[in-house]
Amino acid sequence: MRSFFAPRSVAVIGASQTPTKAGHVIVRNLRALGYQGAVHPIHPTLERLHGYDVRPSLVAVPGELETVVVAVPRERVAGCLREAAARGARAVIVVTAGFADAGDEPGRALDAELRGLLAGAPFRMMGPNSIGTLSPADGFTTSITSQAPLTQGRVSFFGQSGMFASGLADMVRSEARFGVARVACLGNKLDVDELDLLEFLGDDPRTGVIGGYFEGLRDGRRFLELARRVAARKPLVVLKSGRSELGRRAAAGHTGTLSGEDAVFAGAFRQAGLVRAEDLEDFFDLLEGFGHLAAAPGGRVAVVSITGLGCVLAADAAEASGLSLPPLSAGCQARMRAVFPPWAPARNPVDMWAAIERSGVEAAYTHLARAALEDPAFDALVLVFTLIPEADFDAAALVARLRAEHPDKALAAVFMGGEAERLRAWSLAFRRAGVPVYPSPRRALRVLAALATRAGLRS
Amino acid sequence: MRSFFAPRSVAVIGASQTPTKAGHVIVRNLRALGYQGAVHPIHPTLERLHGYDVRPSLVAVPGELETVVVAVPRERVAGCLREAAARGARAVIVVTAGFADAGDEPGRALDAELRGLLAGAPFRMMGPNSIGTLSPADGFTTSITSQAPLTQGRVSFFGQSGMFASGLADMVRSEARFGVARVACLGNKLDVDELDLLEFLGDDPRTGVIGGYFEGLRDGRRFLELARRVAARKPLVVLKSGRSELGRRAAAGHTGTLSGEDAVFAGAFRQAGLVRAEDLEDFFDLLEGFGHLAAAPGGRVAVVSITGLGCVLAADAAEASGLSLPPLSAGCQARMRAVFPPWAPARNPVDMWAAIERSGVEAAYTHLARAALEDPAFDALVLVFTLIPEADFDAAALVARLRAEHPDKALAAVFMGGEAERLRAWSLAFRRAGVPVYPSPRRALRVLAALATRAGLRS
């Protein structure tokens, strides 16, 4: 499996000078990401592409060849697999679509032909209909969309969609949501499937958190056994689509997968200790939380909010997600009152506007957050901001200090409204300081609840 | 009630030279927004503030005085109300907090004193603990946070939180989510409450869509009668917090409101034809949808998506929200196939990647979207984009054309991932073209379902 993420050499069949072609972008990305292995674009007549020597065929590639990417019309894919086998390749990624996903007769016939070839193949294959992998620490990718370097980190995610190594990778990078270890797009799963990925990522020392998206599972029983073992070591977030009949039919069209009844999955996932994401936003919210917050907190949460609205919505969300908002200890309450006017109460959730008016925004956040984090009544702190000019200060520096002072507590931020440019700048700075950022109390508390549930399973 | 949004004159008691003080910001905002009425800052010794003449007291204000804003310590508020009455003011907004929301004995006593004064008052009062209103077409605001001009439009929203005229207004403006008619923050609702706002906005010719946030209702029966009448004329979106016991206690601390059992509200809201938002994100999602999409579509949706993931998630979301994704008509299917390679299927939801590879991104989106909109099998179209370099074109111009060609159909966009700067630019351009933008198929379809439900109620 390592050959899919960090090969010493890679050939790209279907290399092209046309900038819109997959075989062009794949080679350009390897150059752009600074991949250090050998790159062999394959094309019958081209001589050079993005500074690499082009070879007319796999046979003409000098030296060892570990990994082959296939990006040619579907009729030619089987021939490429035969060549890859002859050449001794260990991993093949087939980008080309139009097999079981097409649903036409030739597509089904070509699908059957690939299955026949794979039966005795000396290599593992990802796809077809897979845009492959991303591995930032190795500068490696086979994505067919333009890639810039991702921040390296401990979160790996994979699934049956090319989006993970294209638009969603771009989102993770440009919003600095978390650092990335490995990404894989499984496509039609004719050979490599979620079991292979789980096994590899479970043992991968770079991977600390795993996210998997499934439209269906080929072998549910084996998956759950393996997932249970992996989840005992690393947080495992799963998003399962095809929850509805309509969704199952769409999944059959997308990657030719048959998916089962949703209720069966729900119970099994819970028993195996997996964290089930409700939708794609929730999936990345959870990966962001587990990616930044290594500590395993309990479910006792303090909320310090610039707005009473944040307090009320946080209280609703806490109850809905099974967290508690216990009272401040007497000592904590006394400390907090020092920044409030005499008439204002200090209670959890803490509505801090009066403290800002009296003591200034930086002093109020600093004092109240420290008091909450030092109160043993709490496992976690949610700081609610609204990014208005009146509440401007170097909050990223503050949360970085708080994280350093209290590595044992979970700290999350909520940005409720405010000016969009400011929101973007603060989000980047907070996440770089290791603090996850959510757009509502509900989404922050949902993630803290998942962290607490996992901590409960482990204790 | 008009005096709260578009008075001919306004006095600000508590005007100040200190930039962090509410009485400073309120006056500065009136200057910045170009309010054309008379502005009278009140301060015992100051002479000028932001270019306005300062008066030592309300009595010294020349001419008629319509509206008074009170931003002084809580002990002095009652005195200000007496002056306002003596001066013949018609509307008073009390920004000051620390009454029933404080929960201390002096707070309760001051609350009782205000209640006594209001019994025979010749004016209406908003607050206390209210930062007041925003009315873009009148250049009027009493917000205590810095305001820049909002795009004028048909959406009005109000509730028991200062966030609506501060951080959330900033969000609506900087993300260009929709045009705004009126905003009001009700605070502790000692006099003006949701009934007054509903009545005013229901008759307000500028207001086409209403959003209301409640922590509790003072008179549930009267509210529902009125809401039913208003909802028959204009979409009425409600967010009710205090859904949980914890939330109800937090609401009592926030604005001194007692809120009732959630289940009671849920059924009553549905019967009255209100659209109930699940949380604050959903509230603004719904206002954006109703704000842009005046047409009342049915529930038959076509999805055209750059990614199969979008198709599968859209299908799940459609079933969950009660929408249907009917098959393409034969003619529509034939038209769509013209941009696909021969092997690729064209079915709803439409996975268009193969069409982009064959025909180019602009041609594919244009051709497929037109075919779907011209197919009488559909009431609505969801276009799913991922903002990668390979899918770059002037999509805002396309959706503007599609809106103009098909004003009778609901058109919504989903941006699933991509680069953040690009996402921001596209979001602004789409919304300016009148097309609402959502970050997931689930959120787009949820809004289309609410539009369809409302259309069903009206038909």
Domain harbouring A273, CATH code? 3.40.50.261
Pairwise CB contact (< 8 Å): B312 & A162: no
pLDDT for residue A206 is more than 80: yes
Which of A291-295, A427-431, B132-136, B316-320 has the least mean pLDDT? A291-295
pLDDT for residue A166 is more than 60: yes
Residues of B in contact with A18 (CB under 8 A): none
Distance from the Cα of B251 to chain A's closest Cα (Å) equals: 6
Which of A321-325, B214-218, B358-362, B444-448 has the least mean pLDDT? B214-218
Give the mean pLDDT of chain A.
93
Residues of A in contact with B347 (CB under 8 A): 253
Distance from the Cα of A211 to chain B's closest Cα (Å) equals: 15
Of the three residues A249, A266, A290, the one that is the final residue of a domain is A290
Distance from the Cα of A219 to chain B's closest Cα (Å) equals: 21
Pairwise CB contact (< 8 Å): A319 & B353: no
Residues of B in contact with A108 (CB under 8 A): none
> What is the Cα–Cα distance from A185 to B38, expressed in whole angstroms?
63
pLDDT for residue B280 is more than 90: yes
Distance from the Cα of B70 to chain A's closest Cα (Å) equals: 16
Q: Look up the ipTM and state it.
A: 0.92
Distance from the Cα of A348 to chain B's closest Cα (Å) equals: 8
Backbone torsions φ then ψ of B213, nearest 5 degrees: -110, 130
Residues of B in contact with A344 (CB under 8 A): 98, 102
Closest CA in chain B for residue A168: B417
Pairwise CB contact (< 8 Å): B424 & A424: yes
Mutate to test the interface with A, among B336, B388, B426, B431 (most CBs of A within 10 A): B388
Pairwise CB contact (< 8 Å): B167 & A418: yes
CA A37 to chain centre: 26
Residues of A in contact with B102 (CB under 8 A): 343-345
Q: Using CB atoms, which residue from A170, A353, A419 is nearest to B388?
A: A170
Pairwise CB contact (< 8 Å): B104 & A250: no
pLDDT for residue B371 is more than 80: yes
CB B372 within 8 A of CB B347: no
Residues of A in contact with B161 (CB under 8 A): 307-309
Average pLDDT (B71-76) is 96
Distance from the Cα of A88 to chain B's closest Cα (Å) equals: 31
Q: Using CB atoms, which residue from B103, B317, B416 is nearest to A167?
A: B416
Q: What is the pLDDT of residue A258?
A: 47
Q: Residue A185's pLDDT band (boundaries 50, 70, 90)? A: very high
- My answer on whether B248 and B349 are in the same domain is no
Q: Using CB atoms, which residue from A344, A354, A420 is nearest to B424?
A: A420
Residues of A in contact with B215 (CB under 8 A): 312
- My answer on whether A46 and A99 are in the same domain is yes
Of the three residues B265, B290, B315, the one that is the final residue of a domain is B290
Pairwise CB contact (< 8 Å): A254 & B351: yes
pLDDT for residue A104 is more than 70: yes
Pairwise CB contact (< 8 Å): A279 & B255: no
Q: Residue A254's pLDDT band (boundaries 50, 70, 90)? A: low
Helix/strand/coil (H/E/C) assignment for every residue in chain B: CHHHCCCCEEEEECCCCCCCCHHHHHHHHHHHCCCCCEEEEECCCCCEECCEECECCHHHCCCCCCEEEECCCHHHHHHHHHHHHHCCCCEEEECCCCCCCCCCHHHHHHHHHHHHHHHCCCCEEECCCCCEEEEHHHCEECCCCCCCCCCEEEEEEEECCHHHHCHHHHHHHHCCCCCEEEEEECCCCCCCCHHHHHHHHHHCCCCCEEEEEECCCCCHHHHHHHHHHHHHHCCEEEEECCCCHHHHHHHHHHHCCCCCCHHHHHHHHHHCCCEECCCHHHHHHHHHHHHHCCCCCCCEEEEEECCHHHHHHHHHHHHHHCCECCCCCHHHHHHHHCCCCCCCCCCCCEECHHHHHHHCHHHHHHHHHHHHHHCCCCCEEEEEEEECHHHCCCHHHHHHHHHHHCCCCEEEEEEEEECHHHHHHHHHHHHHCCCCEECCHHHHHHHHHHHHHHHHHHC
pLDDT digits (tens, 9 = 90+) for A399-414: 999 999 999 999 999 9
pLDDT for residue A221 is more than 90: no
- My answer on whether A321 and A236 are in the same domain is no
Of the three residues B290, B316, B347, the one that is the final residue of a domain is B290
DSSP state of A329: P
Range of the structural domain that residue A6 is part of:
2-290
Prediction pTM value: 0.94
pLDDT digits (tens, 9 = 90+) for B285-324: 999 999 999 766 789 999 999 999 999 999 999 989 999 9
Q: C-alpha angle with apex A80: A77 to A83, nearest 5 degrees?
A: 160
Q: What is the pLDDT of residue A84?
A: 97
pLDDT for residue B86 is more than 70: yes
- My answer on whether A376 and A230 are in the same domain is no
Chains A and B form CB pairs within 8 A to the count of: 271
Distance from the Cα of B88 to chain A's closest Cα (Å) equals: 31
- My answer on whether B219 and B257 are in the same domain is yes
What does each C-alpha distance from B326 to A244, A437, B319 come to in angstroms? Answer: 15, 38, 12
Burial class of residue A456 (count of CB atoms within 10 Å of its CB; 0-12, 13-18, 19+): exposed
Distance from the Cα of B341 to chain A's closest Cα (Å) equals: 10
Closest CA in chain B for residue A244: B316
Q: What is the pLDDT of residue B221?
A: 85
Distance from the Cα of A139 to chain B's closest Cα (Å) equals: 19
N residues, chain B: 459
Q: What is the pLDDT of residue B258?
A: 47
- My answer on whether A281 and A395 are in the same domain is no
Distance from the Cα of A254 to chain B's closest Cα (Å) equals: 5
Q: Using CB atoms, which residue from A74, A167, A251 is nearest to B418?
A: A167
DSSP state of A324: B
Residues of B in contact with A103 (CB under 8 A): 345
Residues of B in contact with A20 (CB under 8 A): 357, 360, 390
Residues of B in contact with A426 (CB under 8 A): none
- My answer on whether B308 and B381 are in the same domain is yes
Mutate to test the interface with A, among B18, B343, B361 (most CBs of A within 10 A): B343
Q: Residue B215's pLDDT band (boundaries 50, 70, 90)? A: confident
- My answer on whether A277 and A319 are in the same domain is no
Q: Using CB atoms, which residue from B20, B420, B440 is nearest to A175?
A: B420
Residues of B in contact with A175 (CB under 8 A): 420
Q: Using CB atoms, which residue from A101, A174, A313 is nearest to B419?
A: A174
Q: What is the pLDDT of residue A216?
A: 78
Pairwise CB contact (< 8 Å): A320 & B241: no
Average pLDDT (A46-52) is 97
- Give helix then strand counts, H and E, for chain A: 16, 19
In terms of pLDDT, which residue wins out, B250 or A287?
A287
Q: Residue A20's pLDDT band (boundaries 50, 70, 90)? A: confident
- My answer on whether B229 and B323 are in the same domain is no
Find all residues with CB under 8 Å of B255, minimum gap 6, and list them: A308, B100, B101, B129, B160, B186, B187, B188, B189, B215
Which of A20-34, B240-254, B441-455 has the least mean pLDDT? B240-254
Closest CA in chain A for residue B130: A308
pLDDT for residue A120 is more than 90: no
Residues of B in contact with A165 (CB under 8 A): none
CB B159 within 8 A of CB B239: yes
pLDDT digits (tens, 9 = 90+) for A76-102: 999 999 999 999 999 999 999 999 988
For B72: left if phi > 0, alpha if psi spans -120 to 50, otherwise beta; the answer is beta
Pairwise CB contact (< 8 Å): A162 & B243: no
- My answer on whether A170 and A85 are in the same domain is yes
Pairwise CB contact (< 8 Å): B309 & A213: yes
Mutate to test the interface with A, among B16, B29, B246, B283 (most CBs of A within 10 A): B246
- My answer on whether B276 and B407 are in the same domain is no
Q: Using CB atoms, which residue from B145, B246, B314 is nearest to A318?
A: B246
Q: Using CB atoms, which residue from A106, A171, A390 is nearest to B418?
A: A171
Q: Using CB atoms, which residue from B213, B249, B386 is nearest to A167?
A: B386
Q: Residue A458's pLDDT band (boundaries 50, 70, 90)? A: low
Distance from the Cα of B63 to chain A's closest Cα (Å) equals: 34
- My answer on whether B286 and B300 are in the same domain is no
Pairwise CB contact (< 8 Å): B242 & A316: yes
Distance from the Cα of A3 to chain B's closest Cα (Å) equals: 26
Q: How many separate domains does chain A show?
A: 2
Average pLDDT (B388-415) is 95
Q: Using CB atoms, which residue from A101, A251, A315 is nearest to B246?
A: A315
Pairwise CB contact (< 8 Å): B388 & A419: no
